[in-house]
Amino acid sequence: MEERKFTHQPVLLEEVLAWLNPQSGGTYVDCTVGGGGHAAAILEKSSPAGCLIGLDQDPHALEAAARYLAPYGERVTLVRENFINLPQVLDELGIPAVNGILFDLGVSSPQLDVPERGFSYHHEGPLDMRMDPAMRHTAADLVNNLGEEELAGIIARYGEERWARRIASFIVRKRQHQPIITTSQLVEIIKEAIPAKSRRSGPHPARRTFKALRIAVNRELEVLPEALRQAVDLLLPGGRILVITFHSLEDRIVKNSFRRLANPCVCPPSFPQCICGQKPVLRVLTPGGVAPSEREVNLNPRSRSARLRVAEKLSPVLNATGGE
């Protein structure tokens, strides 16, 4: 894959640097390194002695990141791995804890722009959608093999698509005649399934279904809560976790995960004081999240839906007293 395919502007870059505040001598993790845009900026800010571990399950992204980050030499370690396995990665590297962790969730612009990856409803390509090409199941496998009810459930749950049942019904009917193996085939089926009146306004009619299948194929929402909890465990006191989301489902998971770790007490509100012994481990620094500036949205329209959430690991002293 050509390097230009992974050349893109990292979203909320200035905000990430401001909240992460990388320092020389610190160790940072980019759990979704992509083409290396955020990673390079973190390495620049933490010069001369800051180190970065970059994870990505997409080998094409790692190849691009390796080229882009080569000038930083031994300050960079790149690992092909899903971020759910961050504890094992750091353990193998002999790193017990780090100063900051960044997650930039969802599909990247380069992945969307490469037809062969099958992520985009705008391009003709195989119905793939795997972020890691070594994964067993593609979107085509789900579309051609799942039962109608299960397929409708995925489209409704992950795509928040009001026409999920009708789309699933049309898919099942069409696949009885021939397998659905390309993005354009699926787009046409979705257009047939959604009534014309509902297609005249709003986003592309296939947008929600494609998002739902991508999330299902890559188990994006399944692994996120545990990945966030593990990441917080791996932070040094005062270390920060930053998460960039692009849709309401993943943003809700991040917001609720941070909230539970910041306020873990399960005692009834009527209790005069906490007796459950659950102490906060995080301080939420951006309760409402951080949106991109108007200038960034104008320069990069795909950043419009991005939201950054930040939390800080509490010190043992603060944690022991239950304070924030």
Please check if 36 is assigned to a binding site.
Answer: yes
**H-helix or E-strand containing 143?**
helix 139-145
pLDDT of amino acid 35:
92
Whether residue 106 contacts residue 247, with contact meaning beta carbons closer than 8 Å, is answered with: yes
* 239 labeled binding residue: no
- CB count within 10 Å of CB 186 equals 24
Q: What is the pLDDT of residue 318?
A: 53
Around 145, how many Cα atoms within 13 Å sit in the side-chain half-sphere? Answer: 7
Residue 239 three-state SS: strand
* C-beta separation of 254 from 31 below 8 A: no
Residues of the chain with pLDDT under 50: 1-4, 320-324
Task: Name every residue whose Cβ is closer than 8 Å to that of residue 191 and which is 6 or more positions away in sequence.
Answer: 199, 205, 206
All structural domains of the chain: 13-109+220-266+274-313 (3.40.50.150), 114-218 (1.10.150.170)
pTM above the 0.85 mark?
yes
In this predicted structure, what is the pLDDT of residue 268? 82
Per the annotation, does 57 bind a ligand?
no
Residue 83 assigned as binding residue? yes
Q: pLDDT tens across 172-210, in order?
A: 999 999 999 999 999 999 999 999 988 888 889 999 999
Residue 128 counted as an annotated binding residue: no
Angstrom CA distances, 120 to 62, 66, 107, 109, 192, stand at 21, 25, 10, 10, 18
Neighbours of 8 (CB within 10 A): 19
Structure tokens, 259: 């909230």
* Residue-level pLDDT at 264: 84
Would you say 38 is a known binding-site residue? yes
